[in-house]
Amino acid sequence: MTDHQAEDHGSGGIGSDGVHVVVGAGPIGLGIAKHLTASENTVRVITLSGETRGLPASVRTAKADASDPRVLAKACQGAAVIYFAAAPPYHRWADELPAMQEGAIQAAAETGAVLVVAENLYGYGTAGTLHETHPLQPNSQKGSIRAQMSARLFGAHRASEIRAVSGRASDFFGPGVRRSQLGAQVWPNLVTGKSVWWLGDPDATHTFTYAPDFSRALVRLGAESSAWGRAWHVPSPPDVTLRQALNKAADIAAVKPPSIRKIPRLLLRAAGLIFPLAAELPEVAYQFDNPFLMDWKDYRSAFGDQATSWDTALKATLSWWEKELRS
């Protein structure tokens, strides 16, 4: 169903008459919509194109430019919760992402909705074990953008402009996830017996987040008033090395464990002259050259939620990719 006028009515969420509005229809936005509709909430998904592919039939859609506060606020009319889960490709972050979040902040201010933002770990600017209390000290352009956006979000909350909360995930994977380090460059090669190219050390321990867990956590954070006003690290399966994850996946898929090759930095820089996305990768390589671990004990203590097991997450991911490759 398409709803360009944003005139939904229904129940669900925080308020009895509230609409859950999801900005963005990538894997996380889709996951949020699916999780909400499973609980019979009224859901509207907003994208620049009005895309409906992959959405449950009960979801209403609206076409809007998230960077235009007036247009987005109109599309968010009646919202109890707004989930900001949109993200352009890396090379367009500086030009587009802050403006898109600002549109969501203004929409939340006008509608009175709680604003839930999907964030990542780039703003910390370091490897090691990361907790939410770790200072935001970015060491890259993308990290600086994320840190500035987070500061703006919670500055608006402290100023009582809006009620806000964010969930931070590490590199995520799962059904439908292509544009991720553990996405399209990994799974097709694994299931077809080819080498996997990796940005860093395949034996460095890393936190990976299962995308459906990220979506589920964002819904939970929006529903819990005690969560508002801060960032939360979301549930993620136990830390592993890439090699351990791929060996387990190969066992599930009944294929030989793949050969893992490190992408040379010079090759990335050369590719970046032709492909803008490749040029964005060297500055985040520190996350893959060293242990990069996300401590989410605060979320576990507050809400008791658990992450999906590696076996379950990998089976779902591999099943999706196998179907995708057959189509």
Contact 216, 151 (CB under 8 A): no
* Beta strands 43-47; 163-168: pairing state: unpaired
Contact 21, 81 (CB under 8 A): yes
Per-position b or e across 237-246, b if 16+ CB within 10 A of its CB:
bebbbbbbbb
Please spell the DSSP secondary structure of 197-209, one letter per residue.
EESS-TTSEE-EE
Confidence of residue 272 (pLDDT cuts 50, 70, 90): low
Mean pLDDT of the chain: 91
The reported pLDDT for the residue numbered 274 is: 55
Locate 188 and state its tokens: 């097709």
Of 141-145, 280-284, 299-303, the one with minimum mean pLDDT is: 280-284
192: pLDDT strictly greater than 60? yes
Contact 101, 289 (CB under 8 A): no
Residues comprising the chain, all counted: 327
Please spell the DSSP secondary structure of 143-186, one letter per residue.
HHHHHHHHHHHHHHHHTTS-EEEEEE--EEE-TT--SSTTTTTT
13: pLDDT strictly greater than 70? no
Contact 170, 208 (CB under 8 A): yes
The reported pLDDT for the residue numbered 233 is: 98
Of 7-16, 248-257, 269-278, the one with minimum mean pLDDT is: 7-16
76: pLDDT strictly greater than 70? yes
Confidence of residue 242 (pLDDT cuts 50, 70, 90): very high
**Tens-digit pLDDT profile for residues 39-69:** 999 999 999 988 788 899 999 999 999 999 9
Q: Model pTM greater than 0.85?
A: yes
CB atoms within 10 A of CB 274: 8
Of 163-167, 206-210, 275-279, 322-326, the one with minimum mean pLDDT is: 275-279
Report the candidate in 143, 155, 175 with the shortest Cα–Cα distance to residue 324.
Answer: 175
State the Cα–Cα distance between residues 319 and 289, nearest whole angstrom. 29
Of 69-73, 85-89, 157-161, 317-321, the one with minimum mean pLDDT is: 85-89
The reported pLDDT for the residue numbered 12 is: 35
17: pLDDT strictly greater than 60? no
Sign of the CA dihedral running 109, 115, 120, 123? positive
The reported pLDDT for the residue numbered 271 is: 62
